[in-house]
Amino acid sequence: MKKLTIVDIAKMAGVGSTTVSRYFNGGNLKKETREKIKKIVEEYNYTPNTFAKALKGTDSKIIGVIVPCLHSYVSSNTLKYIDKNLKENNYETLIMNADFDEEKQLDYIRKLARMNVDGIILLPTTMSKSYESTIKSIDVPVVLLGQEGEYTYSVEYNDFNAARDLANFVLACGHRKIAYLGVGEEDIAVGYYRKLGFMTTLEKYNLSPIEVLVTNFGMEDSYRLINENIDKLKKATCLICATDNLAYGAIKALEENGLNVGTDYSVAAFGDYASSALLKSPLTTIKFDLEDAAQKTVEMLLNVIKKKETEMKILIGYDLKTRSSVVDLNNL
């Protein structure tokens, strides 16, 4: 299908091409005209390249990076490593913070495409069809980090296998009454695959979780949810959390309710954040190699930009950090 042009939009809207250009440049238009053009633009997912890369004839040497937030351990450290790798390859980083808002992320993809960036690195918390269609509509290479895309280049963490190995470790320590605290499955990596790896492993041993709880990524929400379900969780001997951040809130709530983590109750998680080894009972957790992920993401994107052959998908390895937050029931 031929890519839509400003002239095409003008014909469909019954206006001149200068009016459509004025729409994209934020000029004054009648409300009716603006709405008519907006409807066509959204229907066809049109993104204009206002900097006309082909006419310019040079690369911008700028890579856009869209993150779900700036305050999380994973986002901030991943950004640090991405920026380091880009600078080593003579590229600058343009960061867009989406505040966990899908519409913002989609808008930033289109906006970066108009800004003549050479490529985009996207750290989405979900991967809906809207992302795929928006990415396909722009003429800028995109690489996903942390989520899988059906038709998009991606660097992914091996969440399923990591969850399987963490569950197997907890089982090897004699735990059979295990609860799980996760996030919504719209987050394919953290919400879906980590839970799936955990559930599949338990099913292999004909076990069912004592409780499965779902919250968002906030420590405060984790703390509140554990308090609300403390009677159910007291029936378990171990709680597996989808992130270290969730584990922090959970541990505070558990201990306030008389359960001593590392002595008579166990907690394990994913992330190996900086504070995890410093807890009263250091946290057993999965460590993903953020530096390696950032390096491979930048390498993949630059290969795509330079039209070099590259894999569509790369999986990042992990390590299981076993610490005293998981009690070995075999030794009791």
Model pLDDT for residues 259-310, shown as the tens digit of each residue: 999 999 999 999 999 999 999 999 999 999 999 999 999 999 999 999 999 9
Q: Is the pLDDT of residue 133 over 90?
A: no
Give residue-wise pLDDT tens across range 175-216: 999 999 999 998 889 999 999 999 999 999 999 999 999 999
Please report the pLDDT score of residue 144 as a whole number. Answer: 95
With b for 16 or more beta-carbon neighbours within 10 A and e for fewer, the 222-247 pattern comes to bbebbbeeeeebeebbbbbbbbbbbb
Whether residue 54 has pLDDT greater than 50: no
Pairing, β 284-288 against β 318-321: antiparallel
Question: What integer pLDDT is reported at residue 280 of this predicted model?
Answer: 95
Half-sphere CA count of 177, side-chain side, radius 13 A:
8
Residue 162 dihedral angles phi and psi, to the nearest 5°: -65, -45
Q: Given this model, what pLDDT does residue 49 score?
A: 58
Longest dimension (CA), the chain: 80
pLDDT tens, position by position, 239-270 = 999 999 999 999 999 999 999 999 999 999 99
pTM reported for the whole predicted model = 0.81
What per-residue confidence (pLDDT) applies to 209? 98
Question: What does the pLDDT average to over 121-135?
Answer: 85
Map out the domains of the chain with their CATH numbers: 1-46 (1.10.260.40), 159-288+319-331 (3.40.50.2300)
Pair 57, 29: CB distance under 8 Å = no
Q: Which of 98, 105, 103 is closest to 72 using CA atoms?
A: 98
Q: Considering only CA atoms, which of 98, 80, 120 is closest in space to residue 294?
A: 80
**Per-residue confidence at 217, pLDDT binned at 50, 70, 90?**
confident
Average pLDDT, the chain: 91
